[in-house]
Copies of this chain bind each other. A is one copy, B any other.
Amino acid sequence: MKQSQLFTKTRREAPKDEVAKNAQLLIRAGYIHKEMAGAYCYLPLGLRTLNKIINIIREEMNAIGGQEVHLTALQDKQKWEATGRWSDEVIDVWFKTELKNGNQVGLGTTHEEPLTSLMKDHINSFRDLPIAVYQFQTKFRNEIRAKSGIMRGREFLMKDLYSFNATQQEHNAYYERAKQAYVKIFERLGLGDKTFVTFASGGSFAKYSHEFQTVTEAGEDTIYLHEGKKLAVNKEVLNDEVLKDLGILRSDLKEVKAIEVGNIFNLGTKFSDAFGLTFKDEEGKVNPVIMGCYGIGPGRVMGTIAEIWSDEKGLVWPEAVAPFAVHLIAIFDKNGEVKKATDALYEKLVKQGVEVLYDDRDTSAGQKFSDSDLIGIPKRMVLSEKTMKNNQIEVKDRKSGEVRMEEIL
């Protein structure tokens, strides 16, 4: 894409009411726009990065047999009353509104209730199981404070997968498979080194749930990290019993701030019992389906990457999620030779399938370089009168800062 066509502009300052580093950087670089606290618009660069994150997650969900659906945001009060979760005292982040006929409806904060109810149309027999269903869907949560930029939104995209199994053993095997898929996702997203499987409260159906916590000062959670075993314990559940279960010593743990980028839960039969989601086994006996749920917020992941992969000059995207692979910059000369050569190189790269942002704007070299650092594309290629004297391009790695000269082919 030619940067002269990109409608967004970079800016020196983030809005004064924006306190989160991730949002400050992403707004300054033109990736997002703050609509209100906790609600952000994705602009072209931001949407490209968000979609790369989504696609990585989608590939890994498909790899563990996930079938993609898209449920509604509007929620039927009756279904949530069936589990006692319509009450604002149970879910304290509901947004509720009403139909013209006066019936109350909610905006989905999560989707166990409607999906469990829906699956009754499709699950009858052991032959129908196992099933794994996922979606990328906008969730609405009426947070009292929303000060972490795109790491905690009132409106945000969520990937939520739900598993349906016939036996506890099959469920456990799927849960483990999903956990490994999550490990792979965070590795592919460039967060592998800083993301830890974290033991957290399990609820009614299992001793533990598992969070994926990425260590960053900007995190809202406190976790206790065991670096040797590459695991952690959420502060909420840290006690002697947990230490014993995990075979670790309190003295080996380090208290750090972290952001929860994913979580996986055993749901047991809580929802299948409430909705009568059952199946007939091989002997004709009716049993409740055993469920699990598995969440990742792609926007939160993007905010977390921005917190971790950035420096004083701007964003430093990992290749897998950068909006473009190459930032091609032309420092124009008077006789148009640089423009001609850079135009040709741009065409060639595009033809090769390389995703290039070409800064063809009629602006200063200083502006182009500082914008490029702010936008944070991994590889920068510069053509100028000087580089062209030797028929060369200057290639700079955004992360390491390493510069090398390459021949123009």
Which A residues contact B (CB, under 8 angstroms)? 5-9, 11, 30, 33, 35-36, 39-44, 47, 50, 65, 67-74, 76, 95-97, 99-101, 105, 107, 114, 118-119, 121-123, 128, 131, 133, 138, 140, 142-144, 154-155
Which B residue's beta carbon lies closest to that of A103? B36
Copies in the assembly, this chain: 2
Q: Are B41 and A100 interface neighbours, CB within 8 A?
A: no
Most buried by B among A9, A97, A128, A138: A97
A320 to B337, CA, bound (A): 45
Q: Are B155 and A73 interface neighbours, CB within 8 A?
A: yes
Q: Are A69 and B43 interface neighbours, CB within 8 A?
A: yes
Which B residue's beta carbon lies closest to that of A78? B36
Q: Are A121 and B155 interface neighbours, CB within 8 A?
A: no
Using A35-B114, A73-B140, A100-B143 as known contacts, list a sample of 10 further A-B pairs with CB atoms less than 8 Å apart, ordered by residue number in A. A7-B119, A7-B128, A35-B71, A39-B72, A43-B69, A47-B69, A72-B155, A74-B154, A96-B97, A101-B144
B residues in contact with A122, CB < 8 Å: 7-9, 30
Q: Are A67 and B44 interface neighbours, CB within 8 A?
A: yes
Q: Are A71 and B41 interface neighbours, CB within 8 A?
A: yes
* Nearest CB of B to A63, in Å: 14
* Nearest CB of B to A400, in Å: 31
Q: Are A69 and B42 interface neighbours, CB within 8 A?
A: yes
Q: Are A36 and B121 interface neighbours, CB within 8 A?
A: no
* Nearest CB of B to A297, in Å: 15
**13 pairs from A and B in contact (CB 8 Å cutoff):** A7-B122, A7-B128, A7-B131, A33-B118, A35-B71, A35-B76, A36-B72, A43-B69, A44-B67, A47-B69, A74-B155, A99-B154, A100-B142
